[in-house]
Amino acid sequence: MSTDNEDEWIKTGLVLLKQGEYEESLKCFEEAIKLNPHSLEAWCNKSLALLYLRKYEESQKCYNPILEIDPDNADAWVQKGVFFESVRSF
């Protein structure tokens, strides 16, 4: 896919994520982030794809830019908590 549209990359990534194509979905979210490094949606979904790939440390690192962009983002804090719960890292 060749597009300069961040939303298209995210939509495609979400479809692939739901189909269990985690590596391919990850590539889509990374392309969206290249287009817009401040995309909370792309960062959150990248973290989720990495979590499904059991790349826990990489997944956790996605929360740093998310919370730098929007430190009051309740969804990001909740997802970060879900992440730690899922890998039992308290």
Structure confidence by residue, pLDDT tens digits, 41-74:
999 999 999 999 999 889 889 988 989 999 998 8
Report the share of the chain in percent with pLDDT over 70: 94
Superfamily of domain 6-87: Tetratricopeptide repeat domain (1.25.40.10)
Chain-centre distance for alpha carbon 31:
11
Q: What is the token pair recorded at 71?
A: 């430190």
Q: What's the confidence (pLDDT) of residue 28?
A: 98
C-alpha pair distances (Å), 22 with each of 29, 69, 75, 77, 82: 10, 25, 22, 23, 19
pTM for this structure? 0.84
**Per-chain mean pLDDT for the chain:** 90
Q: What's the confidence (pLDDT) of residue 90?
A: 45
